[in-house]
Every structure is written in structure tokens, then in C-alpha cells.
Amino acid sequence: MKLLDGLDGCYRTVVADNFFTSISLAKYLLEDDTYLIGTLRSNRVESGSKVLEENLSRGEVYGLQNKDGIKLISSEEVTDYDDDDDDDMDLHTWNEIEP
């Protein structure tokens, strides 16, 4: 992969948006000791995947790992809207979320 020439085998992490993220890309990169983090479109997940079938409550997280070491993690969005602030949305890190 041209963008990663010279960086393979260095245990780097590639971050991609949902246009580029796929299980096949994750497998390809993992073979060269490179990790991929990204949002996966539901139409790119294997049909019948338990990740798609899970009904999650707000703030809940569910994950699976396949035989190749690829992890799929699904979560229900947790956002707070603050009408008093100019920002549209306040995002919280996982450690700040209260059950």
C-alpha cells in the first residue's frame, strides 16, 4: 500500500473513516503488523453477524473477535445536547460516562 511504504512492520495504527474501513483492509494491514481503527458500515459486515443483531441500550458496548484477530465493536451512541452552549453537541470520553 503506497501510503504506508516504509512503515509496515512497525506496529503503527491507521485511522480511517467509514468510506475506507473494511474487514479485508483490516486483515491486509494486520498481516504487516499494522492496526486499523475505523467506523465500519453495516453493509460491509458479514451478513448474520451477531454485532448487527445486538439491540443495545444507550451507552452499552458489544464486541466480537474473529479467527483472524479482527475485533468488531458496536456501541449505542451517548451524546448530550446542551441548549445553553454554542456547541451543537458535547462529546464525552468513555471514562467520563456515568452508568
Q: Residues 83-97: pLDDT tens digits?
A: 555 444 444 444 455
pLDDT at residue 92, as a whole number: 45
- List the domain boundaries for the chain: 2-42+49-96
Kindly report, residue by residue over 8-64, the tens digit of the pLDDT: 778 888 898 888 888 888 888 888 888 888 888 777 776 456 766 778 788 788 888
pTM for the full model?
Answer: 0.62
* 25, containing H or E segment: helix 23-31
> What does the block give as the cell for 52?
448487527
Structure confidence at residue 83 (pLDDT): 53
CB atoms within 10 A of CB 24: 9
User: Any bridge partners for residue 62, and if so which?
Assistant: 74
